[in-house]
A and B are shown apart, each in its own frame.
Chain A
């Protein structure tokens, strides 16, 4: 399979890295500043939290499977949805995307490491510490089963529920400090990513030739500067309120609840795009390879992604259509929100253009990408519905919204992520993942996803609010909730298969070689796994698909730029 050429051999004049005694292994990982090791740590860390937050989701779904259930107490349920949401966003979504960014960006642009390797290690460890701190809360107060002092204020932590009067104890502080630390790590890593892409590109790697995933990491990282700061500011204000007697959000003393909402959503909405743009990046890399076609409309793809990033900064108040912004405010945010569907549409059409006329190969990563396309389409369309403010007055904070954003978060981001697992696993470990297990994973997950989240829209239309730990039997919600819960369990089983596959393939997977998928970007030019220094000699490129040029000298890509 390994599609080596003499040129690629030349890029990699490797020296066998020396084997170390096992006692050194831990020190090696803890002290590493190698972007690949840090990337892997991010990914493993996120995977562990994905399992934990998945268990929390399943606990919620068991509780809601039947009306008037008492599987968990209201307090525990509230902690579960708070921890699930917080974990998924801050300790799964961001770390895993930065994990891939860390691992792939230097390889893709022909660099030997990130611009600031030590800052990179700092970013990882401080985020990881944030996650540990957050979960330490489970051991406080009334211990694990009563869920300790885990936060119970929602991942949005609306004021004034977080004020000292309504939230005594340390629950809210765990939330604030855990998330604050991860925000610092995220900002550090974002800074590193931007600098790396701007200044570490190899010869010939112009901005117009960056792999799309790298473009998307660049856009995402730039957004992070703008959006994490308001959250950090708000969290510091909250700490001041709670401990030093300021009254920013303390409504009992005249503070403002709406102020928190603005701060939070100026972060919170673009955050969704921070998560989804790297997932677009995965899909942008994978679909062309398995359609055997260059990405359709590369400049438009880049422009549309940047457009999404930019417009997303002006839509936050669509989370606030029901706080009484008045007609002028509402109208503005209806417009900015709807406008975002234009660049998003362009992306979908360009993917369609890439598939069109191709020779599609249905590997597991490609299956996940195809499901991604359909699901992202639906997510976008329910998004337009919610952008129509009067419709949102009905649907906001209902299960329709929960279904909509899980279509984005699971249907798009997690599917993109799964595709990335299968696609880059051979590069990272040198082994292929099992395609058979991969197909089991795919089909169980897809079926579970649709059982869970398709049906979840309907209770919302039937007036079921979110964040309720139980409901009466008479509202017509019960059958639907049961179906939804069954779907959640399917997805849980599918993820276990994935984990088994990841572990098993590490020891027993087929050897991958350097370029098992016959791909085009630079990371496939180095051996799998890549040596510490990535490239023995500095590579140089002439087009967007350097390995295509090597393999098809008769028809080089550079002619079409």
Chain B
């Protein structure tokens, strides 16, 4: 029994760290592969804290294990009661003072990272984006460029020579949410009636995944986040494209043209905006450049014509609890609306 007791205490941490090591390398959302400054600093601090606590675990755990094994009652013991020890001031003092020193050390390193991140000066070259959390999707606004989009955030990458961090000014339209893209930065809550800010400066182009981290109702699980970091040129091109009107002349695409009419005469426009059309609703995501996005429904569904049709037919079947109602359209209307939406590049 005893040997299995200490086997457990030794083996489990080993298995744990091995599995962890293997897993950490692979995940797209691992906090151990930082790709921006805040995440990098948080990673540095975590390494410090992890090593300090590991040492404490080994020392104290080792002492406990030793005590349990060494001082067990043996059958050959003649005396039932061991000598009594009631305390020792020196020993107790030392195990009070040493932890205090460790705490002070950790506190100082932590404070440094807090200040570096939260009190960093905002450079003039920074990009401002307004983030608005909704049940259960994200709205992103670029005030300087007049661009509004949803669920997929595009930002320029930043390099030391030309730092272009993105500053996110965040608030919520309904309940509290939390913005979390682990490889870029720790999370920041998105709260109604309150403006929170955070910043990210992705070092390399690519897609960074995350998701809402504050329980926000039925579909909290599928409130995902996608951040696309682009080279400055690609980013400028993306902004340019988003500024173009997407609602084109549809005279040579009759299905889409008909879809447009159906759309504008249905309740869709109460909730969605398509710039340049009568649709100016703000309750749901802006659809102006819908076809330029990879996903719909805030991440969980690929943006294909087929999925789009299924979604419009019955959103609840793809994301139960979603706040978009089914419009009860017939097959024909579904087809043409889908045709129209796929033209919105």
Provide the residues of chain A in CB contact with B83, threshold 8 Å: 357
Tell me whether A388 and B106 are in contact (CB under 8 A).
Answer: yes
Q: Which of B211-243 contact A (CB under 8 A)?
A: 211-221
Residues 454-477 of chain A, each 1 if its beta carbon lies under 8 Å from chain B, else 0: 110110011111111111101111
Provide the residues of chain B in CB contact with A161, threshold 8 Å: 175-176, 215-217
Q: Which residue of A lies closest to B181 (CB)?
A: A463
Q: Which residue of A lies closest to B179 (CB)?
A: A322
Provide the residues of chain A in CB contact with B60, threshold 8 Å: 348-349, 352, 377
Closest chain A CB from B162 CB (angstroms): 26
**A358 contact from B71, B213, B218, Cβ within 8 A:** B71
Tell me whether B64 and A377 are in contact (CB under 8 A).
Answer: yes
* Any B CB within 8 A of the CB of A5: no
* Any A CB within 8 A of the CB of B117: yes
Tell me whether A560 and B30 are in contact (CB under 8 A).
Answer: no
- With A257-B193, A384-B106, A450-B12 given, is the CB distance from A292 to B42 under 8 Å? no
Provide the residues of chain B in CB contact with A398, threshold 8 Å: 213
**A394 contact from B1, B42, B67, B175, Cβ within 8 A:** B42
**A327 contact from B61, B96, B114, B211, Cβ within 8 A:** B114
Tell me whether A461 and B95 are in contact (CB under 8 A).
Answer: no
Binding stretch for chain A, among B49-57, B249-257, B271-279: B49-57
Binding stretch for chain A, among B20-28, B152-160, B260-268, B332-340: B20-28
Q: Which of A463-503 contact B (CB under 8 A)?
A: 463-472, 474-477, 479-480
Tell me whether B99 and A377 are in contact (CB under 8 A).
Answer: no
Q: Which residue of B lies closest to A465 (CB)?
A: B213
* Any B CB within 8 A of the CB of A143: no
Tell me whether A381 and B56 are in contact (CB under 8 A).
Answer: yes
**Whole-angstrom CA separation of A112 from B211 in the bound complex:** 58
Provide the residues of chain A in CB contact with B49, threshold 8 Å: 384-385, 388, 391
- Dominant SS at the A interface? helix
Tell me whether B84 and A294 are in contact (CB under 8 A).
Answer: yes
**Whole-angstrom CA separation of A465 from B217 in the bound complex:** 14
**Whole-angstrom CA separation of A361 from B74 in the bound complex:** 9
Tell me whether B42 and A346 are in contact (CB under 8 A).
Answer: no
Tell me whether A361 and B73 are in contact (CB under 8 A).
Answer: yes
Q: Which residue of B lies closest to A321 (CB)?
A: B186
**Whole-angstrom CA separation of A292 from B72 in the bound complex:** 10
Residues 313-352 of chain A, each 1 if its beta carbon lies under 8 Å from chain B, else 0: 0000000001110110011001100110110011011101
**A341 contact from B30, B64, B99, B213, Cβ within 8 A:** B99
Interface bin, chain B: 35 or more
Interface residue count on the A side (C-beta < 8 Å): 106
Residues 7-24 of chain B, each 1 if its beta carbon lies under 8 Å from chain A, else 0: 011001100100110011
Q: Which of B86-106 contact A (CB under 8 A)?
A: 86-88, 91-92, 95-96, 99-100, 103, 106
Tell me whether A385 and B50 are in contact (CB under 8 A).
Answer: yes
**B96 contact from A74, A346, A384, Cβ within 8 A:** A346
**Whole-angstrom CA separation of A391 from B5 in the bound complex:** 32
Provide the residues of chain A in CB contact with B109, threshold 8 Å: 388
* Any A CB within 8 A of the CB of B81: yes
**B23 contact from A292, A293, A352, A480, Cβ within 8 A:** A480
* Any A CB within 8 A of the CB of B174: yes
Tell me whether A461 and B24 are in contact (CB under 8 A).
Answer: yes
- With A341-B103, A450-B12 given, is the CB distance from A251 to B193 under 8 Å? yes
* Any A CB within 8 A of the CB of B325: no
Tell me whether B19 and A358 are in contact (CB under 8 A).
Answer: no
**Whole-angstrom CA separation of A356 from B13 in the bound complex:** 24
Tell me whether B42 and A374 are in contact (CB under 8 A).
Answer: no
- With A298-B86, A458-B20, A461-B31 given, is the CB distance from A390 to B61 under 8 Å? no
Tell me whether A158 and B77 are in contact (CB under 8 A).
Answer: no
**B71 contact from A255, A291, A331, A396, Cβ within 8 A:** A291
Tell me whether A468 and B186 are in contact (CB under 8 A).
Answer: no
Tell me whether A75 and B82 are in contact (CB under 8 A).
Answer: no
Q: Which residue of B lies closest to A561 (CB)?
A: B86
Closest chain B CB from A267 CB (angstroms): 18
**Whole-angstrom CA separation of A465 from B136 in the bound complex:** 15
Tell me whether A73 and B53 are in contact (CB under 8 A).
Answer: no
* Any B CB within 8 A of the CB of A106: no
**Whole-angstrom CA separation of A353 from B84 in the bound complex:** 11
- With A256-B193, A300-B87, A446-B8 given, is the CB distance from A465 to B68 under 8 Å? no
* Any B CB within 8 A of the CB of A397: yes
**Whole-angstrom CA separation of A154 from B221 in the bound complex:** 14
**A462 contact from B23, B56, B77, B212, Cβ within 8 A:** B23
Tell me whether A74 and B68 are in contact (CB under 8 A).
Answer: no
Closest chain A CB from B105 CB (angstroms): 10
Tell me whether B221 and A346 are in contact (CB under 8 A).
Answer: no
Tell me whether B64 and A359 are in contact (CB under 8 A).
Answer: no
Q: Which residue of A lies closest to B54 (CB)?
A: A381
Closest chain B CB from A175 CB (angstroms): 14
**Whole-angstrom CA separation of A552 from B80 in the bound complex:** 12
Q: Which residue of B lies closest to A446 (CB)?
A: B8
Provide the residues of chain A in CB contact with B63, threshold 8 Å: 352
**B87 contact from A257, A299, A390, Cβ within 8 A:** A299
- Give the residue among B85, B174, B320 with the most A Cβ atoms within 10 A: B85
- With A324-B188, A446-B8, A461-B32 given, is the CB distance from A355 to B71 under 8 Å? yes
- Give the residue among B80, B92, B135, B321 with the most A Cβ atoms within 10 A: B92
Tell me whether A357 and B85 are in contact (CB under 8 A).
Answer: yes
Tell me whether B86 and A560 are in contact (CB under 8 A).
Answer: yes
Provide the residues of chain B in CB contact with A353, threshold 8 Å: 85, 87-88, 91
**Whole-angstrom CA separation of A555 from B193 in the bound complex:** 68
**Whole-angstrom CA separation of A398 from B215 in the bound complex:** 11
Beyond A346-B95, A476-B30, 7 additional contacts (C-beta under 8 Å) are A257-B193, A374-B9, A385-B50, A397-B180, A458-B20, A462-B31, A475-B27
What are 6 A-B contacts defined by CB distance under 8 Å? A74-B218, A324-B197, A387-B110, A458-B23, A458-B24, A472-B300
- The interface of chain B, by Cβ under 8 A from chain A, is 1-2, 4-5, 8-9, 12-13, 16, 19-20, 23-24, 26-32, 39, 41-42, 45-46, 49-50, 52-53, 56-57, 60-61, 63-64, 67-68, 71-73, 77, 80-88, 91-92, 95-96, 99-100, 103, 106-107, 109-111, 113-115, 117-119, 135, 174-176, 178, 180, 182, 185-189, 191-194, 196-197, 209-221, 300, 320-321
Which 9 A/B pairs are nearest by Cβ-Cβ distance? A393-B186, A463-B29, A468-B221, A476-B27, A251-B192, A324-B196, A359-B73, A297-B87, A381-B53
